């Protein structure tokens, strides 16, 4: 593992690392914020999953999370959003499939299956590496935005009891019924819609396997609200299943990192409360 960037930040460090991923079969980068070390007490980890076209750097540079994370003693780990440069045919032809669009699932269809296994990467390989290399404890929370919000909710629902808390900004909440999700799932998972359901928040809630409370932040002026996100469907399914959901609808806010930066401290405080409970 190679540190390729380090900056001092609120008495902690914002770092970026490169390592070889056995799961994805390529070199990957991730970013990590390490809060001040007042003592040697291991710190809890918040995983942040970013959206379509993003890298591990978008959250780091735009969300403004480091000040509050330093105060709360939170380690924040930001994985990249897909493998890169693995020469899969079609990986760079569109913004919503391939590079920057891994959708946090394990692909089963050629030519994607040999590299596009982001679910195993963010839930297995990278957490193991972080535990080996950094002074962290076993307490984890997870959050994300858009495609990454989808990933955060799915990871928490598929791994009952693992994450102390989960939240999402503008998540793709029902990808089996939106253009982004249908395109990606068809390519990565094939025609079997039962396989699609394994990576769909609404479908997982219907199964009632996990009672993980969800915190969702949604801007009412989001340009993708009606066409891609299916937030109304998420709210409906949670009501039908009596699944715990806190849905904050924010008037005038869009899909951008300006929205995330406005409310990120609300989510950091929420996660810190659960991580330290």
- The Cα 113–Cα 115 span in angstroms is 6
Stretch 137-152: mean pLDDT, rounded? 98
- Farthest CA pair distance, the chain: 53
- The Cα 199–Cα 196 span in angstroms is 6
Indicate which residue of 146, 165, 167, 170 is catalytic: 146
Threshold 0.75, pTM exceeds: yes
pLDDT, one tens digit per residue, over 257-269 is: 999 999 999 999 9
Stretch 223-248: mean pLDDT, rounded? 98
Looking at residue 22, its pLDDT comes to: 98
Q: Is 38 a catalytic residue?
A: no
Q: Is 255 a catalytic residue?
A: yes
- The Cα 34–Cα 49 span in angstroms is 17
Supply the mean pLDDT for the chain: 97
Specify the 3-state DSSP secondary structure of 276: coil
Q: Is 209 a catalytic residue?
A: no
Q: How confident is the model at residue 245 (pLDDT cuts 50, 70, 90)?
A: very high
Using a pLDDT cut of 70, give the percent of the chain over it. 100
Residues 6 or more apart in contact with residue 264 via CB below 8 angstroms? 63, 64, 65, 68
**Does 236 score more than 90 pLDDT?**
yes
Q: How confident is the model at residue 209 (pLDDT cuts 50, 70, 90)?
A: confident
Indicate which residue of 150, 255, 267, 271 is catalytic: 255
Looking at residue 184, its pLDDT comes to: 98
Looking at residue 208, its pLDDT comes to: 83
pLDDT, one tens digit per residue, over 36-78 is: 988 889 999 999 999 999 999 999 999 999 999 999 999 999 9
């Amino acid at each position: 593992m190679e540190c390729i960037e380090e900056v001092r930040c609120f008495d902690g460090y914002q770092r970026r690392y490169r390592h070889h991923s056995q799961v994805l079969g390529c070199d990957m980068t991730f970013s990590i914020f390490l809060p001040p070390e007042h003592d040697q007490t291991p710190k809890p980890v918040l995983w942040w999953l970013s959206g379509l076209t993003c890298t591990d750097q978008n959250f780091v540079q735009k969300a403004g999370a480091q000040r509050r994370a330093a105060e709360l003693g939170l380690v924040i780990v930001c994985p990249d959003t897909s493998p890169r440069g693995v020469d899969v045919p079609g990986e760079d032809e569109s913004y919503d499939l391939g590079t920057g669009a891994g959708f946090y699932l394990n692909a089963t269809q050629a030519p994607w299956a040999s590299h596009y296994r982001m679910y195993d990467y963010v839930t297995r390989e990278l957490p193991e590496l972080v535990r080996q290399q950094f002074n962290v404890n076993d307490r984890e929370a997870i959050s994300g935005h858009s495609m990454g919000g989808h990933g955060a909710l799915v990871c928490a629902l598929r791994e009952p009891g693992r994450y102390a808390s989960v939240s999402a900004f503008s998540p793709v909440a029902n990808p089996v019924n939106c253009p982004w999700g249908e395109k990606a799932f068809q390519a990565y998972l094939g025609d079997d819609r039962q396989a699609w359901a394994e990576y769909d928040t609404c479908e997982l809630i219907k199964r009632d396997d996990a009672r993980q409370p969800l915190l969702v932040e949604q801007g009412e002026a989001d340009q993708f609200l009606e066409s891609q996100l299916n937030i109304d469907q998420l709210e409906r399914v949670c009501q039908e299943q009596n699944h715990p959901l806190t849905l904050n609808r924010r008037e005038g806010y869009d899909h951008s990192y300006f929205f995330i930066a406005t409310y990120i401290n609300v989510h950091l405080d929420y996660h810190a409360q659960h991580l330290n409970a």
